[in-house]
Amino acid sequence: MSKFLLTLKFLIFISCVTGNNILANTKKTPEDGPPGILESINNFVHINREHFTKAMKSANAYRIKRNDLKEIKEIAISTPFIKTILFNSDSKYINMISGNNGLCNFYALMENNLLKTTNGLINDVLIDIITKNKIKKTVLVSKKILLEHIYKTRCFKNKSVSTIFNSTNYLKTINSIKFKIPKNRNECQKIFDEWKTHLYLPYICKFPESISLSRKIREKIKRNRNYQTTLSALQRAITSSGRRYEKQIPLFQQTYMENLCRHIESPDKFCNTYLSPGFWEEIVRGEKPLYYMQHRCKLLLRNNKLDTNKLRQCIKLMNDDINRCTTLGITQYPSFFPKPDCKTMEKALSVSRLKTSYQDCPGRIDYENIVNINRILEHFSDDKKSTNPSACVYETMEDFANVVISATNNLIWPLKICYINPVDNKNKCESYIPGQHPSSSLAEQKVMAKILNRIKGSSYKEDCKIIDKTQYNPFLLQYKNGCFIVVDKMKCTGFNCPKNIYFRGKIITGIKYEGKLRFEYFPNSYMHEKNSMDHIIRQKFALKSNRIPNLTILTNFLKNNPNAIIHGVGCAENLLPRFFRSHTLSDCSPTPFIIDGVFDNTNELLLSVRTPMDDVHTPRLIMWNKIFAAITGFQRIHPLNTWMLYGIRK
Amino acid sequence: MESENNIIRFLILLICLLLSKFTFAKSKLPILATKQDIHNIRFISSDGKYTYYQRSSGDLILSSNYNIRSVLKGQKLTQYKVYGSKWRKKIIISVSGDYHYYYNIRQLNKLYQVEFGKNEAELLGMGTNPTLHLNDSWISYFNPYNRKIHFQNLGHKELQFEISLANKINHYFVPSVVMPDNKTVIYTDLDEKGLPGIMRFSINNKKFDLILKGKTHMAKIELCLDNNKLYVGHFGIGKRNQSSTIQVIDKITNITMKNSRKIYHSDLNDIGNIICSMADNNLYFVKSLKTSSGKINNEIVSIEPVSGKISILTDLKYASQVINIDGRLICPFRGKYYLVIGKNNMENDKIPGSTF
């Protein structure tokens, strides 16, 4: 195709410059009509061939020798010769004749038999000369003599490069060159760019071309021995040298040079040889964040230390059985079950952009709006979170609580532990965040310890522990001292768990848990718009919000904003109809979700979606139609009848 | 080159806009007709006589015979769900006061019972997925936190018991529950590896036994009981080894899979959501259909249990749910309710003798 376009450009150029009317030379009757473009090209090629052959024949009478060059004032490659080279040479080598070194590259390419004319490989060159007597002539000169002259008068570097790549020195030279293997795309592009402008490139490409031509000729000879007699001297030489190169040059260098020269116009194709496709491989090479597979591989390999080999092992395990990912980590970090398989997950993650350098445990948190908000907070903040099965509930709640507490005065953290202050006999309440944490002062067990210090005079160093009813045994010595918040998990309704507080073996009354987490994800009324979670997080991170009414706007929004994500609220029965069933009218379980990528699945576009029930590292691929149905389903029930799908970006 | 690409993109966009009318083509199915906004209605009887609807004030109201009566009072934005059954004796109401504030798919809601067409509500307990059984004499509901199915006799409140699920792996699992008689409960469960199974619980001697164990965790099992037949649907979830089957056990007195016969099979993963309690004794569910271009559409279909004949009932392409509201089969789809089986029987509320 590039040869065709080049020819087309040349056709237009020649017509303009020379004023030749190509059509004038064709014998067409008026009835034939105007020729098509292919016919014009055909004619042009035919004409060019004729001109070239004619020029070569007539110049043959004026073949010059080495000594004759001394008498020549100016030399230029003849136009028919250039034309025939342009028509008959590989475009990837033609394209090397550009830039500052273009002219010298032209001679280097000719030297290494990478340029061709109508007659095939170049032995003799047609040149236009002006003698010292100011006589203009078109003459023929052998390629060897011409190049000797050129390398003496200009392109001096070619001479030294030619020497180190000659038949005596080539092997040593090749062995001394560092053929770098790229580790990632960025590095590969740099390596490629360096080669593209390298002085050695025309000399390096000689080898794979010679090897290839030698193989072809030897194959033809095998099939027909008489073919040998038709070969020119140059063809015989190349056949011989090609065979020698194939035997002597190490395989790695051979394949590297072959790959480089074949794909010298396409960095992607050059890089693909060294950089295996696949999303997981991109992570191993460092092109994508490690967290996309780190947590999964730690669970799969049961090893917290991951190196490149272990990651590759992990990839193999995932590829061997795609259902492995469907149950992974479900006990330590409960979430929706079964998870998508490894292949589906790979596709979804390949287009995903949500920052997930942590692991949360949605199955242990009842507030799906909080899980979703927390994921948005983690995406836009630079805070690093730890990953710990025992602390994952608390950390999710803590991030959310910090945002709420630092928001407007009207919105106060509602969860409190209340007691009667013995000093003034008045009811006093302390804010707390549900869950256990070793250092956070708002952690439930810390707040309880503080209260017990005030009402029971316990040591301020004494900490409380949150344990299940089945674990607590007041007859054991370990439970005789200290503070225990005993939870009856069998009677829990999520965060609303009946609890008893024991201090030094005795049950404590007079301490109550009060308050409910009631937050509007998107506003339920215009009056409370500023108190909605959407508004609060947008304020905190100075985010801009765009309404996303259709798939086209969604796709463009994600495309134009590389770090943006989309969030919305819809009915779980429409998002995941296989798992959640409607039984009655307006049977809709509102579920917030995050969309962070678009996957092109040939027939259709699929969206990378995380519901708050899903593991944060396991997005699903869901069709736009399901998202649309989910949002419209909830819209009809919502008091403001609002379309709830918004893109958020910094 | 770039300008050419921009022109091509513009032309594609223009064509899409012009053809956009056809992308969401209208369905031939009628829309459920109601006298008020359907999105306020929570239950409507098939003859239109009784309508339970909610107000923005948070109240649930019964409308019948030109009369409205309060069923339950709640705070603003309370959300109600109203469940009926084919026996038309009881109505179950689920109340969620924090519906718009507290998104929790496992939320336990207050459950009330009401006589069909009446408004005096009685509190039963807290749970999810309430289901009426055995001529509306029993109710079951589920607590996903302690993983127990609670059963209560609606005539004799003291008759109640609980079944604990073995499932610990899937925090969002909801069992399918049927009561073939007042001695037996058949329900679905998951084992420690997430493999689905069907269990039988004998109420009298409190014994469990396994009827069926699935071979893969990438599947779900649904149960549907009607006219002394138990339908067992097995629908794949994963990409590999896709399949869907429905079997029927004709003798509910002896429920074993050996006594079952296959009435349906597909090599695709259907969505399922089987309904079997319709008057015509057919089975209805959401099936996956492959188009000539390889795309998968989902439509509601019916199966005649005897002949196995399948009929496609909808033309929505992306149907995902089907519900039975007092004998009418309805497909909720993109905020509308399409009437799949049944008629739009609206009571003639003209005042007798009126000229209007």
pLDDT per position as a tens digit, A350-382: 999 999 988 888 888 888 999 999 999 999 987
User: What's the pTM?
Assistant: 0.73
pLDDT at A120 over 60: yes
Q: Please give the average per-residue pLDDT across A337-341, as a whole number.
A: 93
Q: Single out the residue of A375, A622, A621, A374 nearest to residue A517, CA to CA.
A: A374
Q: Which of A344, A584, A633 sits opposite B81 (nearest CB)?
A: A584
Residue B348: CB partners within 8 Å, gap ≥ 6?
none
Query: What is the per-residue pLDDT across A251-289, written as a single tens digit (0 to 9) for each?
Result: 778 888 988 999 999 898 888 877 777 888 888 877 788
Give CA angle at B164 (B163, B167), nearest 5°: 135
Chain A closest CA to B307's CA: distance in Å? Answer: 27
Whether A590 and B145 lie within 8 Å, measured CB to CB: no
Query: What is the per-residue pLDDT across A150-162, written as a single tens digit (0 to 9) for each?
Result: 898 888 899 999 9
| pLDDT for res A29 | 43
Strand partners, B260: B249
* A582 lies within 8 A of chain B by CB: yes
Q: Which DSSP letter does residue B294 get?
A: S
Q: Which of A331, A584, A635 sits opposite B325 (nearest CB)?
A: A584
Q: Which residues of A touch B56 (CB under 8 A)?
A: 639
Whether B334 and A592 lie within 8 Å, measured CB to CB: no
Q: Please give the average per-residue pLDDT across A546-556, as a whole number.
A: 95
Q: Which of A330, A493, A574 sits opposite B145 (nearest CB)?
A: A493
Query: What is the per-residue pLDDT across A20-77, written as a single tens digit (0 to 9) for each?
Result: 433 333 444 444 445 566 667 777 777 778 888 888 888 877 788 888 877 787 888 9
- Rounded to whole angstroms, how far apart are CA atoms B103 and B75? 17
Chain A closest CA to B76's CA: distance in Å? Answer: 10
- Rounded to whole angstroms, how far apart are CA atoms B91 and B80? 12
Residue, of A391 and B348, whose pLDDT is higher: A391
DSSP secondary structure of A136-201: EEEEEEEHHHHHHHHHHHS-HHHHHHHHHTSTTTHHHHHHHS--PPPSSHHHHHHHHHHHHT-TTH
pLDDT at A13 over 70: no
Q: Considering only alpha carbons, which residue of chain B is nearest residue A576? A: B320
Q: Which residues of A touch B102 (CB under 8 A)?
A: 367, 369, 516-518
CA distances from B102 to A368, A520, A634, B41 (A): 8, 8, 14, 22
Q: Which residues of B touch A633 (CB under 8 A)?
A: 332, 334-335
Q: Which residues of A touch B196 (CB under 8 A)?
A: none
Q: Which residues of A touch B101 (CB under 8 A)?
A: 518-520, 524
Q: Considering only alpha carbons, which residue of chain A is nearest residue B105? A: A589
- In the structure encoding, which two tokens stand for residue B252, read together? 């509910």
The most confident of A161-165, A439-443, A540-544, by mean pLDDT: A161-165
Helix (H) or strand (E) holding A259: helix A251-262
Q: Which residues of A touch B235 (CB under 8 A)?
A: 578
Flag residues of chain B having pLDDT under 50: 19-23, 354, 356
Task: Report whether B237 contacts B263 (CB < 8 A).
Answer: no
How far is C-alpha B152 from the chain's CA centre?
21
pLDDT at A114 over 60: yes
Q: Please give the average per-residue pLDDT across A391-412, as a whole number.
A: 75
- Enumerate residues 236 to 255 of chain A having a beta carbon within 8 A of any beta carbon in chain B: none
| pLDDT for res A601 | 83
Chain B interface disruption, residue of A323, A551, A575, A583, most B CBs within 10 A:
A583
* A327 lies within 8 A of chain B by CB: yes
Whether B239 and A327 lie within 8 Å, measured CB to CB: no
Q: How many residues does chain A have?
A: 650
Q: Which residues of A touch B58 (CB under 8 A)?
A: none
Q: Which residues of A touch B146 (CB under 8 A)?
A: 489-492
- Contacts of A382-386 with C-beta under 8 Å, sequence gap 24+, read A384/A357, A384/A358, A385/A357, A385/A358, A386/A358
- Contacts of B114-121 with C-beta under 8 Å, sequence gap 24+, read B114/B71, B114/B90, B115/B89, B115/B90, B115/B91, B116/B50, B116/B84, B116/B88, B116/B89, B116/B90, B116/B91, B117/B45, B117/B49, B117/B50, B117/B62, B117/B64, B118/B62, B119/B62, B119/B69, B119/B70, B119/B71, B121/B71, B121/B72, B121/B93
| pLDDT for res A16 | 42
Q: Which residues of A touch B286 (CB under 8 A)?
A: 577
Chain A interface disruption, residue of B17, B93, B171, most A CBs within 10 A:
B171
The amino acid at residue A514 is E
Query: 10 Å Cβ neighbour count for A607?
Result: 25
Beta-carbon pairs below 8 A across chains A and B: 179
Q: Which of A326, A629, A637 sits opposite B333 (nearest CB)?
A: A629
ipTM of the complex as predicted: 0.90
Q: Which of A338, A584, A587 sits opposite B237 (nearest CB)?
A: A338
Query: What pLDDT band is residue A6 in, cutting at 50, 70 and 90?
Result: low
| pLDDT for res A557 | 96
Domain ranges of chain B: 33-131
Q: Which of A491, A494, A524 sits opposite B100 (nearest CB)?
A: A524
* A368 lies within 8 A of chain B by CB: yes
pLDDT at A12 over 80: no
pLDDT at A315 over 60: yes
Least confident range of A12-21, A620-629, B276-285: A12-21
* A639 lies within 8 A of chain B by CB: yes
Q: Single out the residue of A580, A598, A600, A599 nearest to residue A590, CA to CA.
A: A580
DSSP secondary structure of B227-250: TTEEEEEEEE-SSSS--EEEEEES
Whether A341 and B286 lie within 8 Å, measured CB to CB: no
Query: What is the per-residue pLDDT across A187-229, written as a single tens digit (0 to 9) for each?
Result: 999 999 999 999 999 999 999 999 999 999 998 898 888 888 8
Q: Considering only alpha carbons, which residue of chain B is nearest residue A625? A: B318
- In the structure encoding, which two tokens stand for residue B235, read together? 């629908």
Query: What is the per-residue pLDDT across A559-618, written as a single tens digit (0 to 9) for each?
Result: 999 999 999 999 999 999 999 999 999 999 999 999 999 998 877 899 999 999 999 999
Helices (H) and strands (E) in chain B, counts: 1, 26
Place of tokens 């007041």: A474
| pLDDT for res B313 | 96
